[in-house]
């Protein structure tokens, strides 16, 4: 083993060829996208279908999905397979009265088709029928009602399929709108606020039906707001505000469909407090009181907020119960017990590995779970496969054999071995074998594992050739030796190495690790931090002796070393799976949010879960856990998930993926302006990964934004794709994304943070008191020229930017690398950009010009040397 690499093999750059549209298709786009006639829509002005979940009987290819017909973009389309019958269906989210349907056909139109409605997507009623359709734009006046509307085609006019640029459904939702109801739909609903005066005045107190409890905001700060989630879109007719003495003189009532874009339905600058009964007209899922001027020197304070609606309200989708003894964990979860024949287990493992060994951009996801007991198995993990034990301790499940990751498929080069995990197992190697191999790079945690045998070693590379580029060992016991080999950077946290560690390339960080090597940087490049200041380990699924499935939620540990479980009882709480809504692929975000509103936790089964509106996690202490690297894809420009500014939410084991329409952000923790303290019970993110591009051309402006204070990030990889599936293009103007991580909250801590290839700042840190332990970054490969990558007069954007307003920040063990292969003349001015302040300190940094391709001029601000072809690696131990 070598302690330092003498040359670097950068990650392969996959070139793809763009497929140009033929002149015929371009002409069709121009010819068949006229302005939509609005005559029929005047009587029913509401477009109900745009952005709603859409499904189809088939699609011609991945570039013509059902969602493209309801995205509001007349340049994208749905196209079916080339046979009859075919259908396109949209879920309006609630029952509606339908008055008009517009079809904007591409050249392949339907000669015979029907428009049908349904309340359950099973029994259909035809509200329009033709056998003489002429294509083009058809504005159809109809009369019907239902939650689902579909075009059902029975005869095509061409040899191709059916193809629609847009499918537009107009109408009105709900029933009797003449009477304002008496029920207070806000009572007991999730509520959040911009701030709270103290722990005794939470947002929830304003919607608890108790006029003796109240919400109060921070004092002497404007604006402030209180928001309530009504669970579904409602037609709001009256809002009653019962003010405490600290009232609002100027405020607005605002509604929103997504909790992000707001419409004002009432405004005043002359309020006098007391009880205000306000008649309003508006609709939305969310209502907020937005205060801009206080009536006193104190904050804003409400005893109660009541909301009344008309018959236009909706009923939440039914949410079933979960049997904790026999849960449906989805078709791609395999659960074995000691009575399962060894041959059956091994056959399944071999089949999965054969399918997933190279399948890094496929939609398949798998979880392989072992109940407590002893097994003989060789677990060789491919892409998007999780193996985990179902015991309370890793030692409750012992595999005689291997749990390994190899790089054979890529010639020994492990720099693309992503997206897999091994958790909560112990492994006993076969007789005569002393080496376990975990040759991985990003998003491949080896967590809560026990490799038995002091004579054994785990190798973090291919063991003789090839490179590997980053990974995580956490809460893990290795009885023997850890050998890093060619690993360019690695993060080990709260683990125990019986015979220590050997190896170093650029950036090795050890935190709270018993058996870590002595601190030494840069030769060897070992950053050693004695303790972990505050961390919560990842929640996990387990089975009790009675056969009940439960989720264990580890407690927060402070100033910790070593594992949470070896020779000790882990602290934490346990939740029955009966308290979880088990999410299957195809479940709508509306149903998921209904489950959350009913107090459920979430367990996502393996697969790709498409959402067209944000998943809203509003309740404190909610657990959101994914199996098999379950993936949430944000379609139609949606946000994937929003977490309220509440205590103790745990999100774990999920990937968030950008859709083809630009999302403003894929995940947001706390709304803008969050300020509540969660120091005693922080929200935490564990093995949460993000991807912009790869299986398709994904787009997002921002990726993860953290607005709440005291959030913990426990191993995250935010990746704008530098390569993609065969036939899928990537590039500077294609899979676009400005920023990976934006931190606005105070006292946020990141453990094991990987951010790569974004087009502006990779990470922006605006909050005070932030800490990062281990940071890995690759700058974007695909910058076309220097002019395309300028931050004002500065060449390029920093990999890690701490805002000038920040007065305290700390970071340990950081690496940033350039590989400007499209144009090696591109220069990054500096990788780390921070205010000059003695309380903003960076420790042990490295910059690398991979293979000498491109230049990083300075390490941090104007300090540190230049990394380029002549001097590829530059170290700096402290700043300032």
**556-560 and 532-536 as β-strands: parallel, antiparallel, unpaired?**
antiparallel
C-alpha to C-alpha distance for 253 and 596, rounded to whole angstroms: 25
Neighbour count for residue 762 (Cβ, 10 Å): 30
* CA nearest neighbour of 253 among 215, 222, 280: 280
**What letters, b where the CB count within 10 A reaches 16 and e where it falls short, cover 716-742?**
bbbbbbbbbbeebbbbbebbbbbbbbb
C-alpha to C-alpha distance for 463 and 213, rounded to whole angstroms: 64
For residue 24, give the 3-state DSSP assignment.
helix
Strand partners of residue 739: 702
C-alpha to C-alpha distance for 683 and 669, rounded to whole angstroms: 9
Neighbour count for residue 796 (Cβ, 10 Å): 26
Dig out the tokens for 683 from the structure.
């929200």
* CA nearest neighbour of 706 among 728, 723, 729, 690: 690
Q: Is 778 annotated as catalytic? A: yes
3-state helix, strand, coil in the chain (%, to 5): 5, 45, 50
| Catalytic residue (choose from 778, 828, 829, 833) | 778
C-alpha to C-alpha distance for 180 and 518, rounded to whole angstroms: 71
Q: Is 85 exposed, middle or buried (0-12, 13-18, 19+ CB in 10 A)?
A: middle
DSSP annotation string for 467-524:
-B---EEES-EESSEEE-TTBSEEEEES-EETT-EE--SSEEEEES-BTPPPPBSSSS
Strands (E), 555-649: 556-560, 572-576, 580-583, 601-604, 608-611, 615-617, 623-634, 641-643
C-alpha to C-alpha distance for 474 and 510, rounded to whole angstroms: 10
C-alpha to C-alpha distance for 587 and 559, rounded to whole angstroms: 41
* CA nearest neighbour of 834 among 863, 795, 871: 863
C-alpha to C-alpha distance for 246 and 136, rounded to whole angstroms: 60
In degrees rounded to 5, what are phi and psi of residue 193? Answer: -145, 160
Strand partners of residue 841: 810
For residues 312 and 175, the answer to whether their CB atoms sit within 8 Å is: yes
Q: Which residues are catalytic?
A: 778
């Amino acid at each position: 083993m070598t302690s330092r690499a003498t040359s670097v093999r950068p990650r392969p750059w996959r070139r793809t060829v763009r497929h140009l549209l033929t002149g015929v298709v371009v002409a069709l786009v121009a010819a068949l996208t006229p302005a939509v006639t609005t005559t029929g829509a005047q009587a029913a002005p509401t477009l109900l279908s745009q952005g709603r979940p859409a499904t189809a009987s088939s699609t011609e290819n991945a570039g013509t999905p059902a969602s493209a017909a309801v995205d509001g973009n007349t340049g994208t389309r749905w196209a079916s397979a080339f046979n009859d019958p075919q259908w396109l269906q949209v879920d309006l989210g609630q029952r509606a009265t339908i008055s008009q349907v517009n079809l904007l056909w591409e050249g392949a139109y339907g000669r015979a088709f029907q428009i049908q409605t349904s309340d359950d997507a099973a029994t259909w009623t035809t509200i329009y029928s033709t056998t003489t359709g002429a294509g083009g734009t058809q504005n159809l006046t109809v009369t019907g009602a239902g939650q689902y509307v579909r075009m059902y085609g029975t005869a095509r006019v061409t040899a191709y399929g059916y193809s629609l640029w847009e499918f537009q459904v107009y109408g009105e939702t709900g029933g009797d709108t003449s009477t304002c109801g008496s029920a207070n739909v806000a009572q007991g609903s999730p509520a959040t606020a911009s701030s709270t005066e103290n722990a005794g005045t939470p947002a929830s107190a304003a919607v608890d039906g108790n006029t003796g409890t109240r919400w109060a905001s921070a004092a002497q700060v404007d604006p402030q707001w209180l928001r309530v989630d009504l669970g579904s879109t409602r037609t709001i007719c009256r809002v009653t505000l019962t003010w405490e003495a600290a009232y609002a003189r100027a405020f607005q009532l605002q509604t929103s469909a997504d909790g992000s874009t707001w419409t004002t339905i009432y405004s005043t600058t002359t309020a006098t407090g007391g009880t205000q009964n306000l008649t309003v007209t508006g609709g939305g899922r969310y209502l907020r009181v937005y205060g801009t001027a206080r009536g006193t020197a104190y904050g804003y304070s409400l005893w109660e907020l009541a909301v009344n609606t008309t018959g236009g309200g909706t009923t939440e989708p039914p949410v079933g119960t979960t049997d904790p003894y026999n849960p449906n964990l989805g078709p791609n979860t395999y659960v074995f017990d000691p009575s399962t024949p060894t041959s059956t287990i091994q056959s399944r493992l071999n089949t999965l590995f054969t399918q997933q060994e190279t399948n890094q951009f496929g939609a398949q996801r798998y979880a392989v779970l072992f109940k407590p007991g002893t097994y003989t198995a060789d677990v060789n993990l491919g892409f998007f496969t999780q193996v985990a034990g179902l015991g309370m301790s890793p030692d409750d499940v012992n595999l005689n054999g291997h749990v390994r990751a190899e790089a054979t498929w890529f010639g020994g080069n492990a720099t693309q071995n992503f997206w897999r995990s091994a958790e909560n197992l112990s492994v006993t190697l076969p007789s005569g074998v002393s080496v376990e191999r975990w040759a991985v790079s990003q998003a491949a945690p080896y967590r809560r594992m026990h490799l038995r045998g002091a004579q054994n070693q785990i190798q973090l590379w291919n063991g003789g050739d090839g490179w590997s580029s980053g990974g995580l060992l956490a809460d893990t016991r290795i009885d023997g030796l850890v050998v890093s080999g060619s690993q360019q950077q690695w993060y080990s946290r709260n683990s125990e190495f019986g015979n220590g560690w050997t190896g170093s390339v650029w950036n090795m960080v050890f935190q709270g690790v018993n058996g870590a090597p002595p601190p030494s940087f840069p030769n060897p490049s070992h950053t050693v931090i004695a303790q972990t200041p505050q961390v919560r380990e990842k929640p996990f699924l387990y089975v009790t002796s009675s056969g009940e499935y439960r989720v264990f939620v580890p407690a927060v540990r402070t100033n910790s070393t070593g594992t949470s479980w070896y020779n000790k009882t882990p602290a934490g709480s346990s939740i029955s799976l009966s308290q979880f809504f088990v999410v299957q692929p195809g479940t709508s975000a509306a149903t998921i949010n209904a489950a959350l509103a009913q107090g459920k936790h979430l367990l996502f089964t393996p697969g790709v879960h498409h959402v067209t509106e944000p998943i809203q996690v509003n309740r404190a202490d909610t657990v959101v856990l994914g199996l098999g690297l379950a993936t949430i894809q944000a379609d139609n420009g949606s946000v994937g998930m929003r977490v309220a500014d509440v205590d103790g939410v745990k999100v774990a084991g999920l990937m968030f993926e950008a859709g083809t329409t630009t999302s403003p952000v894929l995940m947001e923790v706390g709304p803008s302006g969050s300020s509540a303290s969660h120091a005693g019970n922080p929200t935490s993110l564990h093995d949460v990964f993000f991807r912009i591009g790869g299986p398709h051309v994904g787009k997002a402006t921002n990726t993860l934004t953290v607005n709440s204070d005291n959030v913990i990030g426990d191993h995250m990889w935010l990746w704008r794709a530098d390569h993609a599936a065969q036939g899928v293009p990537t590039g500077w103007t294609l899979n676009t994304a400005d920023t990976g991580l934006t931190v606005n909250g105070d006292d946020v801590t990141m453990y094991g943070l990987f951010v790569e290839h974004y087009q502006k700042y990779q990470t922006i840190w605006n909050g005070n008191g932030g800490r990062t332990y281990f940071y890995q970054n690759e700058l974007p490969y695909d910058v076309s020229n220097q002019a395309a990558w300028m931050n004002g007069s500065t060449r390029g954007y920093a990999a890690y930017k701490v805002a000038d307003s920040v007065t305290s920040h700390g970071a340990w063990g950081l690496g940033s690398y350039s590989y400007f292969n499209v144009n090696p003349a591109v220069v990054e001015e500096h990788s780390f950009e921070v205010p000059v302040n003695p309380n903003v300190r960076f420790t042990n940094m490295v910059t690398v010009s991979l293979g000498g391709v491109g230049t990083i001029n300075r390490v941090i601000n104007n300090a540190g040397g230049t990394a380029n072809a002549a001097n590829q690696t530059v170290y700096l131990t402290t700043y300032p």
